Amino acid sequence: MAKIAVIGFGSLVWDPRELKLADGEWHKDGPKLPVEFARVSQDGRLTLVIAPELKPQPTRWAYSGCRTLGEAKADLAKREGPTPEKNIGALKKGEKGSDATEQAIASWCEKKGLDGVVWTKLSPKAPDGSERIITPEEAVAYVKSLEDRLKNAKRYIEMAPEEIDTPTRRALMKMFEDM
């Protein structure tokens, strides 16, 4: 069986659902990637996405229980929504990647001796629907406005891997403390 990794930095880590993982163990030495709470999801939560212009953060990874990179990509797409496979990144051993983020993932994959890697590749989405990174202040104002969906949004922020330390997370955690 091929050694394929799934990179996780958000809910995959604490809520993999039906994602096929070889042993269910999330390792803390994933590639450092520029992630931030920058996507308004369908249920209103601010979720973590890769945003190349931001400071890299630690990520986690697990071995996929799939036999091929194509199967692992389809499996992750199913878990994420389902989401179109264009929103799932994938690199096989030896590929270099098309941008700095993918190059960092490719380098990490090579150092780990993996045959391939998959990750969620959704773009930022602000409350107004535009594809942009919101400021921590905008995030606080948005989350405060959620009313009946606030509990679920708060849970996502709190459950994110502890090593994810972003300006938006710090601002939101302070807001939750002050509530």
**pLDDT tens readout for residues 106-163:** 999 999 999 999 999 999 999 999 999 999 999 999 999 998 899 999 999 999 999 9
Q: Is 1's pLDDT higher than 80?
A: no
Q: Does residue 2 carry a pLDDT above 90?
A: no
Return the pLDDT at 53: 87
Q: How far is CA 146 from CA 46, 122, 151, in A?
A: 11, 22, 9
Report the candidate in 119, 121, 105 with the shortest Cα–Cα distance to residue 50.
121
Q: What is the pLDDT of residue 141?
A: 96
Is residue 77 within 8 A of residue 88, CB to CB? The reply is yes
Element (H, E) at 88: strand 88-92
pLDDT tens for 150-174 read 999 999 999 999 999 999 999 999 9
Name the average pLDDT for the chain. 95
Domain boundaries, given as residue ranges, for the chain: 4-178
pLDDT tens for each residue of 49-83: 999 889 999 999 999 999 999 999 999 999 998 78
pLDDT of 94 higher than 90: yes
Neighbours of 9 (CB within 10 A): 25
Q: 170: how many CB neighbours lie within 10 A of its CB? A: 11
Predicted pLDDT at 82: 79
